[in-house]
Structure 1
Amino acid sequence: MMVGSRYLGDGKCTFCVWAPLWESVDVRLLRPKEVVVPMKRLPFGYWTADVEGVYGCARYLYRLGGEVERPDPASHFQPQGVHGPSQVVDHKDFNWDDEDWRGIPLEEMILYELHVGTFTRQGTFVSAANELAYLKDLGVNAVSVMPIAQFPGERNWGYDGVYPYAVQSSYGGPSGFKEFVKACHAHGLAVVLDVVYNHLGPEGNYLADFAPYFTDKYKTPWGSAINFDGAYSDEVRNFFIGNAIHWFCHYHVDGLRLDAVHAIYDASAKPFLEELVEAVEELSESSGRKLYLIAESDLNDVKVIRPRELGGFGIDAQWCDDFHHALHALLTGEKHGYYVDFGKVPQLAKSFEEGYVYTWEYSAFRRRHHGSPSKERPAHQFVVFSQNHDQVGNRAMGERLSALVSFEVLKLAAGAVILSPYIPMLFMGEEYGETSPFLYFTSHSDTDLIEAVRKGRTEEFAGFDWPVDVPDPQDASTFETSKLKPHLREERVHHALFRYYRELLHLRKSTPSLSLPMRNVAVSTIGERVLLVHRPHKMGGSLLLLNLSPDPLEVEATLPPGEWVKVLDSSEEEWLGPGASLTCSLKGKTRVSMRPWNFALYRIS
């Protein structure tokens, strides 16, 4: 059942809403002229009405029981914000001109995560589209957009969205997002959209007024859990599966990033996630274009990405937090919060080879065993990163890696991620060492909620050795401070880092042993702090050397057969390094001399 408003053309529109506990439901049209139309009850608690004289600008509310008026839970546009009326959108009235677009295969993706509001000074889809030529020149080929579902006010990370089908009005609304996706495809960039199916935000969340969308059986860290396995859950599932189809069909996105699937509580025999995968696979088959689902999960459970025929959910890929944590702890020395479980070189070596670090080992942070073996899964099912919105923004002061470590360490982190055997993802601005923090910001209107967010934000960092006087999320300056400063790209050090990132991305795409995610990776630890990563290939393999130490090291290494020629060295003066100590070629059993935090790539001659 398709919920929401569906414009049919010639002034005709169908409205459909799920409200099983009400005796009557009307649709009240506010524009172009006010009229109240009774809706017809259908099986399973749906209500529908076919209305004429409705055009793309029509605004409306649903009237429940003759008294309570609310916006459409499946509204496609909220031009007056979360408390205002919904607006009909004519999705046929847009020239896509991307019929030849076939997408980017998952295994070839190089992701770039951005937040629309802070990616540019203007914070709109239009201004973001103006930066696509820059991203293409950098070398990424897929843009991962943080949530754009309508949220309260004009500034938010997007995870407080309350209208899953509506495009944030302050970013440019439905037409703005369509133009952005169209421009991405014209530049050869895929679009992965972040969606939130584990909770809704608190302000403007009227779903419970319509139907049992939520359950008291479970609790999420962010509020009421969505009812995916109780009474009436079939229609709840229909709402969210329909949402995924909505983004694919009406906005031509190439993939969805599913936020925090570990907070989707579902004890049913056929979980919601499995049903969602089935629906997207069916749409992929009918459309002739592969559409992707990428999960965020802290479960370290391969069931999330294991094929359905093998008992898994069948999600295409997932973010690999363990790779980030293992790398971050080594580069920063941080040991608080969940970093207490990390900080050892063999852990990073394991992540290079397998993905997960915790595969049913004891976790001091969780105070229990954690994870399942992941080596069975193909490498393209893991997305890795040294920074993302969570790992930066969920720090008390929102510090990027550039504020925590030296220039040499930044180059090492870039090499580890981009030339890893997995799908790499960059966080906006990291490619030139952006100095603005990425803070948590909101623009709620409810004073009690504002105070609760402030208090909760402070309590969140109790387990970390960070300042407790965190920036006020509600203060507009917190948002403004988080905007990128693109003029930095032209400054000497920042421009050198940008060139270094661009070279790494070029090498990844042009080198057969690096261009695709692969499982046949051999990792060895030399001494206590040097990693040697061998990526073999029939057309010639590659060697990555990482000195994960603040000290210069000289170690004895036994290399794979053949003569290995240096291709890139982060210590070279070209990259504003201190000067290389590694020789131009290496062979057999040899002594390897590396600068502090040195990263190097060698290829077989």
Structure 2
Amino acid sequence: MNPFKLGAHYRGDQHCVFTLWAPLLKQAAVHLIAPADRLIPMIRDERGYWHATITGIEPGALYFYQWDGETDRPDPASYSQPQGVHGPSRVVDHAFAWTDGGWQPPPLPQWVMYELHVGTFTAEGTFDAIIPRLPELRELGVNALELLPVAQFPGERNWGYDGVYPYAAQHSYGGVEGLKRLVAACHREGLAVIMDVVYNHLGPEGNYLWGLGTYFTSQYRTPWGDAVNYDGPHSPGVREYMVGNARYWFETCHCDALRLDAVHAIYDFGARHILAELAEVAADCGQRQGRPCYLIAESDLNDPRIVRTPATGGYGLDGQWSDDFHHALHTVLTGERHGYYADFGALEQLAQAYRRPFVYAWDYSPHRQRFHGDDPGDCPAWRFVVCSQNHDQVGNRALGERLSGLLPFPALKLVAAAVLLSPYLPLLFMGEEYGEPRPFLYFISHGDPALIEGVREGRKKEFAAFHAKGEAPDPQAETTFEDSKLQWELGKRGRQGQLRAFYRELLRLRRELPALAHLDNASLTATIIAPGVLELRRWRDGNRIVAWMNFAADSATVTVEPGVGAWRKVIDSADTTWGGENSGLLPQLPDGSLPDTITLSPYAVVVYTTEI
């Protein structure tokens, strides 16, 4: 491990240590450009790390690294890019008056995640503007905030997956200082912070790492071009670059978890996979800080090795997304079958997704035309994250429609219940809790005209593969970004207010009913009891729940098995409280049995509970 931290580290008293990893350079220098122009040669060690200690320098100084006496480039480990991805890097003093010394995040099995995009979450689009909204999220029942990537990207509008400075929090969002204020405020409100990080690629504009010749390899290809070099020549420095980034978010910025983007596009055939090394670093950071630090992977591999322990042949991450749950739920309600949705559409698949996290666990996938996934039966249910919507599944539609634009109002309540009654960690996408009607579109603000046109054409081809209807808005247009901003006031009135209250009540039940709070696939049954109707039963100790969910657009009368105990209704989406027309289902069943038949309204869900 390199004893020097990459980047510019201000030590106080006008001293700053600069470290650059560039083993193929013959010369390197720090080129200070403000407040005064100075060129300071760097010294190379045997591993290709260049070092310089500079005096007479203060935080805020601007600098480049000069390569081989010719080319000025920003710092690959820059902590601040105030003039954008092509401008100079800025020296940062990382001192901050933290107030979270006693902070402990909730245990992972209790997390309710809320995914948000900083730029569209508020009108201002900054870290600081999020802070006044935190009490509302806490009151809703959220306890973990997941930020889409904030690493510096080109311009001021981007999802974040075009980031090119992994250590630099986006300047237009408020930079690292604003991020720290947000993290501190989250911890005061009892909210954990999840940082979405991208270790499978860097964006195309401002990515000067290509010029160093060590960070990427043509041995493997990803959707973004050459893969990050995790196992080839010079890979130790690349690994340290990414591992150091994870440590930075945990230790310097006090984040509680990292969401690792698309780990299926990370290629490492060395004996120690980079994911396993990241897990070791997260554990070390947690031990050093006296609080857990979690890693949650996005993966479409359906591979339980991601969350299995090293002792059982796994990488030891704390959680991973289950796309199968989303796809099963989405296709049953929308009827869509294009692209990867071709593998889904049967209600029995959704029932299967309750019984195990993956629908495809070494089952034949018609879309892939091969067997896919593996059985995760030895992995706890709480290691899997499920959702009905997220930035990908909404924003990668041509018109960016949320489910609120695809489904009738009763179905939005059913969607909420389907996710929140599951035995998995739920993730909400910003605005879904009140049915935000605005889309979440794909947007960029690149400066290269050829790149802009390439993105436009690439999106058109992608939508053609999904048989998308309508023409997608121009991703470069500022209006595309503005049209994606949330309308918070809608969640306080009318049907949208009722939907938000329905989410809040489901989250309360999830916390308070032992049968729902205990996340376990073994203590549940999920059964199709009639066309379009799924019965979910869960139990823990003496507490039991039964939920009937009607995924059909028509009412359904179904026969149910009697149950032992005095059952009481805890939530019914057809009640007038939630904007329904009153189902007429009894609030209490004092005779000790469930009714022989019940009639469910279209897209209705009803939950009863008992103690035995």
Q: TM-score range by the shorter chain?
A: over 0.9
1-side partners of 2:318 and 2:462: how far apart? 31
- Residue range with higher mean Cα deviation, 78-87 or 554-563: 554-563
**205-214 or 151-160: which moved more?**
205-214
Determine the structure 1 residue equivalent to 2:608: 602
Work out whether 1:512 is the aligned partner of 2:514.
yes
Q: Report if the CA contact (8 A) 2:183-2:193 is conserved.
A: yes
1:581–1:594 CA contact under 8 A, matched in 2: no
Distance 1:280 1:143, change over 3 A: same
The 3-state SS of whatever aligns with 2:401 is: coil
In 2 relative to 1, CA 230–429 (structure 1 residues): closer, same or farther, beyond 3 Å?
A: same
Distance 1:559 1:73 in 2: 65
| Cα drift, residue 102 of structure 1 | 1.1
1:372 is matched with which residue? 374
Do the aligned partners of 2:567 and 2:594 also contact (CA within 8 Å) in 1?
Answer: no
Determine the structure 1 residue equivalent to 2:570.
567
Q: Which residue of 2 aligns with 1:45?
A: 48
Q: Which residue type is aligned with residue 389 of structure 1?
A: H
Matched, 1:557 2:563: no
The aligned runs of 1:209-220 (5 Å cut-off) are: 209-220=211-222
CA contact (8 A) 1:461 1:468 kept: no
- Equivalent position amino acid for 1:78 in 2: Q
Q: 1:401 aligns with which of 400, 403, 406?
A: 403
One-letter code aligned to 2:492: E
Partner of residue 15, structure 1: 18
Q: Which moved more, 1:7-16 or 1:486-495?
A: 486-495
Residue 590 of structure 1 corresponds to 596
Instruction: Name the residue aligned to 1:328.
Output: 330
Residue segments in structure 2 that go unaligned for 5+ positions in a row: none
SS in structure 1 opposite 2:560?
Answer: strand
Cα shift at 1:543: 1.5
Instruction: Name the amino acid aligned to 2:246.
Output: A
2:64 — aligned with what?
Answer: 61
SS in 2 for 1:165: strand
Output the amino acid matched with 2:431. Answer: G
Q: 1:581 to 1:342 in 2, by over 3 A?
A: farther
1:420: how far off?
A: 1.1
State the distance in 2 between where 1:553 and 1:589 align: 15
Report how far residue 585 of structure 1 moved.
4.2
Correspondence for 2:279:
277
Q: Distance in 2 between matches of 1:527 and 1:444?
A: 52
Q: How far has the Cα of 1:563 moved from its partner?
A: 3.1
Distance 2:497 2:518 in 1: 27
Amino acid at match of 1:136: R
Mapping of 1:304-453 within 5 angstroms?
304-453=306-455
Q: Report the Cα distance in structure 2 between the residues aligned to 1:373 and 1:464, rounded to whole angstroms.
A: 29
1:169 alignment partner in structure 2: 171
1:595 corresponds to which letter in structure 2?
S
Task: Report if aligned partners of 2:413, 2:573 keep a CA contact under 8 Å in 1.
Answer: yes
Quick check: 1:196–1:258 contact (8 Å CA) kept in 2? yes
Q: Distance in 2 between matches of 1:561 and 1:463?
A: 51
Residues 298-348 of structure 1: per-residue CA shift (max 9 Å, x gap): 000111111111111111001111000000111111111111111111111
Report which stretch shifted further, 442-451 or 539-548: 539-548
- Structure 1 residue 422 displacement after superposition: 0.7
Q: Which amino acid aligns with 2:187?
A: H
Q: State the Cα distance separating 1:560 from its structure 2 match.
A: 4.3
> What is the deviation of 1:42?
0.8
Q: State the Cα distance separating 1:32 from its structure 2 match.
A: 2.7
AA aligned opposite 1:590: D
Secondary structure of 1:536 counterpart: strand
Q: Select between 193-202 and 585-594 the one with higher mean Cα deviation.
A: 585-594
What is the aligned partner in structure 1 of residue 583 from structure 2?
580
- Cα shift at 1:588: 5.1
- For residue 400 of structure 1, report the CA deviation from its aligned partner: 0.1
Aligned partners of 2:141, 2:242: CA distance in 1, in Å? Answer: 34
Aligned runs of 1:203-282 on 2, under 5 Å?
A: 203-282=205-284
SS in structure 1 of the partner of residue 284 of structure 2: helix
Partner amino acid for 1:23? Answer: K
Letter of the 2:551 counterpart = L
Greater shift, 445-454 or 329-338, is seen at 329-338
Deviation at 1:356, TM superposition (A): 0.4
Contact 2:518 2:540 in 1 (8 A): no
Q: SS of the residue aligned with 2:540? A: coil
Per-residue CA deviation, residues 404-442 of structure 1 (Å, 9 max, x unaligned), is 001000000001111211111110001111011000000
Alignment partners' CA distance in 2, 1:525 and 1:585: 24
Tell me, yes or no, if the aligned pair for 1:393 and 1:438 is still in contact at 8 Å: yes
Q: Which of 520, 524, 527 is matched with 1:524 structurally? A: 527
Counterpart contact for 2:219–2:226, Cα < 8 Å:
no
Cα deviation for residue 478 of structure 1 reads 0.5
Name the counterpart of 1:301: 303
Work out whether residues 398 and 439 of structure 1, in 8 Å CA contact, stay in contact via their aligned partners in 2. yes
Instruction: Report the secondary structure of 1:488's partner residue.
Output: helix
Contact 1:356/1:373 (<8 A) preserved:
yes
Distance 2:224 2:420 in 1: 33
Structure-1 separation of matches of 2:94 and 2:216? 30
- Where in structure 1 are there 5+ consecutive unaligned residues? none
The 8 Å contact of residues 141 and 190 in structure 1, kept in 2 or not, is answered as yes
Aligned length: 604
Question: What residue number does 2:120 align with?
Answer: 118
Q: Tell me whether 94-103 or 514-523 shows the greater mean CA deviation.
A: 514-523
One-letter amino acid matched to 2:126: T
1:211 shift after superposition: 4.0
Contact 1:18 1:211 (C-alpha < 8 Å) held by counterparts? no
Is residue 75–residue 86 contact of structure 1 (8 Å, CA) maintained in 2?
yes
**Secondary structure of the structure 2 residue equivalent to 1:44:** coil
Instruction: Compute the displacement of 1:223 (Å).
Output: 2.3
Q: Could you tell me whether the CA contact under 8 Å between 1:581 and 1:595 is conserved in 2?
A: no
Q: What is the CA–CA distance in structure 1 between the aligned matches of 2:385 and 2:46, rounded to whole Å?
A: 42
% identity of equivalent residues: 51
Q: CA deviation at 1:219?
A: 1.2
Alpha-carbon shift at residue 469 of structure 1 (Å): 2.0
The code of the aligned residue for 1:395 comes to: R
2: CA distance between counterparts of 1:565 and 1:33? Answer: 74
Deviation of 1:584 after TM superposition, in Å, equals: 2.8
Letter matched to residue 351 of structure 1: A
User: What is the letter of the counterpart of residue 447 of structure 2?
Assistant: S
What do the CA deviations read for 1:377-402 (whole angstroms, capped 9, x no partner)?
A: 10110111100001100111100000
Tell which deviates more after alignment, 364-373 or 28-37: 28-37
* Cα distance change, pair 343–583 in 1 and its aligned pair in 2 (3 A): farther
Q: Distance in 2 between matches of 1:106 and 1:172?
A: 29
Structure 1 window deviating more from structure 2 (5-14 vs 578-587): it is 578-587
Q: By how many angstroms is 1:88 displaced?
A: 1.0
Aligned amino acid, residue 192 of structure 2: A
Further displaced range: 289-298 or 512-521: 512-521
Select 2:105's aligned residue among 103, 106, 130. Answer: 103
Task: Provide the C-alpha distance between the structure 1 equivalents of 2:311 and 2:407, rounded to a whole number of angstroms.
Answer: 45
TM-score (norm 1): 0.98
d(CA) in 1 for partners of 2:457 and 2:284? Answer: 45
How far residue 515 of structure 1 moved from its aligned partner, in angstroms, is: 1.9
Equivalent-residue separation in structure 2 for 1:308 and 1:450 (angstroms): 43
Match of 1:482 among 481, 484, 508: 484
Letter in structure 1 aligned against 2:601:
R
**What amino acid maps onto 1:599 in structure 2?**
V
Deviation at 1:68, TM superposition (A): 1.0
Contact 2:516 2:539 in 1 (8 A): no
One-letter amino acid of the structure 1 residue matched with residue 508 of structure 2: H
TM-score, normalization by structure 2: 0.97
Q: Does residue 466 of the first structure (1) align with residue 468 of the second (2)?
A: yes
Letter in 1 for 2:397: R
Task: Report the 3-state secondary structure (helix = DSSP H, G, I; strand = E; otherwise coil) of the residue aligned with 1:602.
Answer: strand
Amino acid at match of 1:552: S
Cα RMSD (Å) of the superposition? Answer: 1.2
Deviation per residue, 1:216-245 (Å, 9 max, x gap): 111111222100111111110000000000
- Tell me the equivalent position of 1:289: 291
1:25 to 25, 28, 35: 28
AA at the equivalent of 2:44: R
